[in-house]
C-alpha cells in the first residue's frame, strides 16, 4: 500500500516589525508610536484610492474608466482570480487617472488637496501620494512620536528620488485646532561677503510659515517650487480639501474611570481611544474642511462602536453617506469593520453654516460640472481572507481574498507568496 504524500505546513517568515515593506518603499515604524501599519490602514487607503466617486468617474461615458474597472473587480466580481504575474510586475499599475495621463484640455485635477487626519507613520498619505500623483497632501497628528516617525518616512522616500512624498506636508496639532490658512511671517537672514572690500552683507528673506507646520528636509526644495508655480502647500485660499481620509481612534473608553486605559502608554492611548477625538469631533472638523458637493470623506471604524456614533454624527451634520463597505474576516464571518464614503452637499452648509474658514463662498459653476445624485447608500461586502486560521495550510498565516489582492495590487507584495497555496 503506497503512502499518501502530504505537504508539511509552511512556517510564516518572521518580518521586521520595525518596518512594513511595500512595492516601491519601506515604511519605518521603529519609534514608539501608538499605531503601526495595520490592516485598517491598508484597507481604507486601498478603498479610497479606487476613487469611484470622483467627478470624472461619474460623468456619462466614463463608466469603463480604470478606476471603475477596479471597483467592479473588487466589489462586483470578488471571485475573479488574482493575477500573480501582474502583481510581480512592479512597473505595471492597474489603477490610475487616465484623464490626467492624457492631459486633455478641460481635464481638472482631482483631488487638488488631500487631508490625512491622524497620520501616524504617514502610511495613508504616502499611499495617497503614490496613487494621486498631482495632489498636495497635508498630514496631521497630535502625537510627538508619530510626527517624528512620519518626518523620517517622508524625507527618506524623498531622498530616494521617488515622486511620492514630494507633495506631502506635515502638521503637528489636533484636528480641532487646525486651520489651513493659519500662516505667520518669519524672516531668515543670509550673510554674504562682497569680493571688493570684504564687507559682509545681510540679506533678509521674508517667508510665510504655517503655525503648526513641521520643518521637513525636503521642504527647502519643494516649497520654493510650489511658490514659483503660484501654489500653496495648504488650500489657503478657501480652506477646503477635495479628499479627507482618516483611520481614527475607535475604542470609546474613558481614561479617567478605566485604569487599564489610564495606565497605557500615552501615545498608544491617544492613537486608539476616542477621548481626544470623538466621532462628533471628527465629523465637525471634516465639515469645516471638506469642499462641499465634490469633496469626499473616507474612513474606517469598528462595529458596533463607534460606527453607530459616526453615522449619527454624519447625519446630524448634514453629510450624505454614498457607500458603506461591510468588512469581514472571511466571507462567512461577522462584520468587524465598516468603511464609508461621505460627501457634504452645499445645502447643508447653507442651512447651518458652522464653517470657520476665511472664505466660505461655494463656486456654483464648478459644482454644476459634476453629476452627483443623492440616492440611496450603496452597500458592499469585503472579506480580508479566504479562510479562517484553522483552515489554512500555512502556519500562522492565511490566504488573502482576491478582493484584498486586487485592491492593493499597486501597493503591496506581502501576499505574492500565496500563489501556490490552495488555502
What are the strands, taking DSSP E only, across 347-415? 378-383
Matching residue, cell 478605566 = 258
Burial of 2 (0-12, 13-18, 19+ CB in 10 A): exposed
Instruction: Compute the distance between CA of residue 175 and CA of residue 118 in angstroms, rounded to an integer.
Output: 8
What are the strands, taking DSSP E only, across 285-389? 296-302, 320-328, 335-343, 378-383
Could you give phi then psi for residue 296, rounded to 5 degrees?
-125, 145
**How confident is the model at residue 276, as a pLDDT?**
63
**How confident is the model at residue 104, as a pLDDT?**
58
- pLDDT tens track, the chain, 423 positions: 444 444 444 455 555 678 999 999 999 998 866 678 999 999 999 999 999 999 999 999 999 999 999 999 999 999 999 999 999 998 889 999 988 766 555 567 899 999 999 999 999 999 999 999 999 999 999 999 999 999 999 999 999 999 999 999 999 999 999 999 999 987 766 566 655 556 666 665 667 899 999 999 999 999 999 999 999 999 989 999 999 999 998 655 655 555 544 444 544 444 444 446 899 999 999 999 999 999 999 999 999 989 999 999 999 999 999 999 999 999 999 999 999 999 999 976 666 554 444 433 333 333 333 333 456 899 999 999 998 887 776 666 789 999 999 999 999 999 998 888 766
| Helix, coil or strand: residue 38 | coil
CB proximity list for 50: less than 8 A, separation 6 or greater: 67, 70, 71, 74, 95, 407
Cross-strand pairs, 167: none
What single string gives the DSSP state of each residue in 331-358?
Answer: TTSPEEEEEEEEE--HHHHHHS----SS
Matching residue, cell 564687507 = 199
Q: Which residues of 251-289 are buried (b: 16+ CB within 10 A; e: fewer)?
A: eebebeeeeebeebeebbbbbbbbbbbbbbbbbbbbbbb
**In the chain, count of helices (H) and strands (E)?**
15, 12
**How confident is the model at residue 332, as a pLDDT?**
92
C-alpha cell recorded at residue 377: 447608500
Q: Which residues of 352-381 are buried (b: 16+ CB within 10 A; e: fewer)?
A: eeebebeeeebeeeebeebeeeeeeeeebe
CB proximity list for 163: less than 8 A, separation 6 or greater: 133
**How confident is the model at residue 195, as a pLDDT?**
56
Q: Which residues of 33-46 are buried (b: 16+ CB within 10 A; e: fewer)?
A: bbbbbeebbbbbbb
What single string gives the DSSP state of each residue in 41-77?
Answer: HHHHHHHHHH-TTSHHHHSTT-TT-HHHHHHIIIII-
Nearest to 293, CA basis, from 319, 317, 271:
319
- Which helix (H) or strand (E) is 183 found in, with range? strand 183-193
CB proximity list for 360: less than 8 A, separation 6 or greater: 238, 349, 353
**How confident is the model at residue 7, as a pLDDT?**
44
**How confident is the model at residue 305, as a pLDDT?**
87
pTM summary value: 0.84
What are the strands, taking DSSP E only, across 107-182? 113-117, 136-141, 168-172
Cβ atoms within 10 Å of 203's Cβ, excluding its own: 9
Cα-based distances in Å from 157 to 4, 103, 218: 50, 27, 10
**How confident is the model at residue 365, as a pLDDT?**
36
Cross-strand pairs, 408: none
Residue 371 near residue 60 (C-beta atoms within 8 A): yes
* Count, residues in the chain: 423
**How confident is the model at residue 251, as a pLDDT?**
53
Long-range (24+ apart) CB contacts under 8 A made by 320-323 are 320/344, 320/345, 320/374, 321/377, 322/53, 322/296, 322/377, 322/378, 323/52, 323/53, 323/377, 323/378, 323/379, 323/380
Instruction: Compute the distance between CA of residue 252 and CA of residue 310 in angstroms, rounded to an integer.
Output: 12
**How confident is the model at residue 98, as a pLDDT?**
83
- Which helix (H) or strand (E) is 186 found in, with range? strand 183-193
Amino acid at each position: 500500500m503506497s503512502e499518501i504524500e502530504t505537504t508539511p505546513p509552511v512556517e510564516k517568515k518572521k518580518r521586521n516589525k520595525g518596518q512594513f515593506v511595500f512595492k516601491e518603499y519601506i515604511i519605518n515604524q521603529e519609534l514608539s508610536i501608538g499605531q503601526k501599519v495595520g490592516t485598517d490602514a491598508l484597507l481604507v487607503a486601498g478603498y479610497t484610492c479606487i476613487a469611484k466617486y470622483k467627478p470624472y468617474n461619474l460623468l456619462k461615458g466614463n463608466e469603463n474608466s480604470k478606476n471603475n474597472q477596479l471597483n467592479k473587480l473588487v466589489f462586483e466580481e470578488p471571485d475573479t482570480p488574482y493575477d500573480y504575474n501582474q502583481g510581480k510586475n512592479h512597473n505595471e499599475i492597474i489603477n490610475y487617472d487616465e484623464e490626467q495621463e492624457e492631459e486633455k484640455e478641460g481635464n481638472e485635477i482631482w483631488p487638488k488637496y488631500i487631508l490625512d487626519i491622524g497620520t501616524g507613520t504617514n502610511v495613508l498619505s504616502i499611499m495617497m501620494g503614490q496613487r494621486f500623483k498631482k495632489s498636495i497632501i497635508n498630514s496631521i497628528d497630535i502625537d510627538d512620536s508619530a510626527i517624528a516617525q512620519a518626518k523620517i518616512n517622508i524625507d527618506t522616500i524623498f531622498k530616494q528620488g521617488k515622486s511620492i512624498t514630494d507633495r506631502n506636508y506635515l502638521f503637528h496639532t489636533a484636528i480641532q485646532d487646525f486651520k489651513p490658512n493659519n500662516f505667520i511671517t518669519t524672516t531668515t537672514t543670509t550673510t554674504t561677503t562682497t569680493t571688493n572690500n570684504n564687507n559682509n552683507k545681510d540679506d533678509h528673506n521674508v517667508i510665510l510659515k504655517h503655525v503648526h507646520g513641521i520643518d521637513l528636509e525636503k521642504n527647502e526644495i519643494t516649497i520654493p517650487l510650489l511658490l514659483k508655480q503660484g501654489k500653496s502647500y495648504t488650500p489657503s485660499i478657501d480652506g477646503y480639501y477635495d479628499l479627507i481620509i482618516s483611520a481614527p481612534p475607535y475604542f470609546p473608553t474613558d481614561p479617567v474611570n478605566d485604569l487599564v486605559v489610564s495606565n497605557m502608554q500615552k501615545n498608544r492611548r491617544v492613537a486608539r481611544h476616542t477621548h481626544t477625538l470623538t466621532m462628533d469631533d471628527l465629523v465637525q472638523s471634516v465639515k469645516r474642511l471638506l469642499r462641499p458637493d465634490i469633496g469626499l470623506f473616507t474612513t474606517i471604524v469598528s462595529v458596533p462602536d463607534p460606527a453607530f456614533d459616526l453615522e449619527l454624527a454624519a447625519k446630524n451634520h448634514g453629510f450624505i453617506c454614498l457607500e458603506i463597505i461591510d468588512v469581514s474576516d472571511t466571507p462567512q464571518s461577522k462584520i468587524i469593520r465598516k468603511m464609508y464614503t461621505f460627501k457634504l452637499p452645499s445645502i447643508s452648509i447653507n442651512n447651518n453654516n458652522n464653517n470657520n474658514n476665511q472664505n466660505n463662498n461655494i463656486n456654483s459653476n464648478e459644482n454644476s460640472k459634476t453629476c452627483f445624485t443623492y440616492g440611496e447608500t450603496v452597500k458592499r461586502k469585503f472579506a480580508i481572507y479566504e479562510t479562517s486560521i484553522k483552515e489554512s495550510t500555512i502556519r500562522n498565516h492565511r490566504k488573502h481574498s482576491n478582493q484584498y489582492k486586487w485592491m492593493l495590487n499597486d501597493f503591496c507584495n506581502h501576499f505574492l507568496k500565496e500563489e501556490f497555496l490552495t488555502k
